[in-house]
Structure 1
Amino acid sequence: MKKFLHENSLGLVFGLLFLVVLAGEAVAGHADFNQQQLSEGLQPISFDRYVTSASFAVDVTENWQSEYLQFFLYIYLGAWLLQKSSPESKELHKAGRESDKDQMVGAYATDTSPAWARTGGLRQALFSHSLGLVMGAIFLLSWLAQSITGVAAYNERQLRNLQDPVSWGQYLLQPDFWNRTLQNWQSELLAVTSMVVLSIYLRQRGSSQSKPVGAAHAATGVEG
């Protein structure tokens, strides 16, 4: 067990932090929702009802979709686009798909390579793009979930204000949907830009996201 925890500590800790923060969001969101209910002369709702409501679901999914959009873009654009001197970039001579030898596929696969890296055809092609495809699929599914829960929450507000509800298609054209979407996209893109540029000149000793402390500022694609 000690060995398992040591070898998987990064994923386990982030997974635990996710659950803790999600629980905190649920508690804070419930309190905030009920404050709004009372201010509008409506009855507060129970915690169970809140965490199964469209209001809570849209708040969660709008953040999920932006995170997976960030990863999807970073994975695909990072294969072709470069940033000189950043450890977040590939080395300047490695832009693009790289050779089969560099990627250890087909005839260049080793005994420890995954089975689909050793085969050719469709299986190798799918495996070669599996990370980006899955991240892209999760982004689209979470964005769809945001739009569905968003229109439900939006229509609840419409009905409380004695206004007509809208269809899902109409909601996709509403400022509410795009405000929720774009405010998350801009923050994720800013975070990536900051990481790419600041990691050129700043260091974090021992981190895989940083150059070694003594590495030259000009070094590109070097990990600590």
Structure 2
Amino acid sequence: MTTLRSFMRDNGLSLAFGVLFLFSLVGQAWSGLAAFNDQQLAHGAQTVGLLDYLTSSSFAVDVAENWQSEYLQFFLYVSATVWLVQRGSPESKALRKAGPESDRDQLLGRHVRDGSPRWAKAGGRRTAVFSRSLGLVMGTVFLLSWLAQSIAGVSAYNAEQLSDFGDPVSWGEYLLSADFWNRTLQNWQSEFLAIGCMAIFSVYLRQRGSPESKPVGAEHHVTDESG
């Protein structure tokens, strides 16, 4: 029988980041509310309560634009590392394995094991979908978050336009606006920089005990090896 202690030990990574996510989301809600109400007062408008702020387009667009950039990062990294390699990086697979790899490497077909997932054993479309399921889910969440950002963004943008006696815009017009692409690209560039830095820094730098790093004494050119 699984005890609470063993459950927390076995799932420590996901539990820890889940708690950090909740704390940071709560912190964003309260700080965002304070900033929003400061802006309301500056425009001579009424302040709002926490519940009203949480259901506002202003809060929704801030959350959605962060989510879409993060899931874009994961989608691109999961997909790009199928074909692209980085000599010496533990974030890369071995140079000779670029591509989708053989059934033997991927434990498919006659190479499946007794404990392999059911869809890996099924063959046909189910195995084809399952073999790309991580990228599909990451890409889908990215697109949905980006859509949510655009919908919440046009609402927040129009509210600001009306408060400044400007003209509101349609969703299509907002998609072509500087505001939408400024919000989008300022997140994308940071994600691309972080991915690139992690790939190249891990060639020459080490973090003892981390699977994201090579063993401390590993040679710089060693690829696809974690400590």
User: What TM-score does the superposition give when structure 2 sets the normalisation length?
Assistant: 0.97
Percent identical residues: 62
- Report the alpha carbon displacement of residue 120 of structure 1 after superposing the two structures with TM: 1.3
Root-mean-square deviation (Å): 0.6
Q: Is the 8 A contact 2:206 2:215 kept in 1?
A: yes
Which whole-Å CA distance do the structure 2 matches of 1:22 and 1:204 have between them? 28
Which segment is superposed worse, 16-25 or 154-163? 154-163
AA aligned opposite 1:214: G
Partner residue of 2:82 out of 67, 79, 82: 79
SS in 1 for 2:32: helix
Unaligned runs of 5+ in 2: none
Would you say 1:25 and 2:28 are equivalent positions? Answer: yes
AA aligned opposite 2:126: R
Superposition pairs for residues 150-189 of structure 1, below 5 Å?
150-189=153-192
- Report the alpha carbon displacement of residue 12 of structure 1 after superposing the two structures with TM: 0.3
- Report the alpha carbon displacement of residue 95 of structure 1 after superposing the two structures with TM: 0.3
Would you say 1:59 and 2:66 are equivalent positions? Answer: no
- Report the alpha carbon displacement of residue 214 of structure 1 after superposing the two structures with TM: 1.0
Unaligned runs of 5+ in 1: none
Match of 1:192 in 2: 195
- Report the alpha carbon displacement of residue 140 of structure 1 after superposing the two structures with TM: 0.3
SS in 1 for 2:167: coil
Match of 1:139 in 2: 142
- Report the alpha carbon displacement of residue 41 of structure 1 after superposing the two structures with TM: 1.6
User: What TM-score does the superposition give when structure 1 sets the normalisation length?
Assistant: 0.99
Which whole-Å CA distance do the structure 2 matches of 1:119 and 1:150 have between them? 43
Would you say 1:88 and 2:91 are equivalent positions? Answer: yes
- Report the alpha carbon displacement of residue 175 of structure 1 after superposing the two structures with TM: 0.3
Which whole-Å CA distance do the structure 1 matches of 2:198 and 2:100 have between them? 23
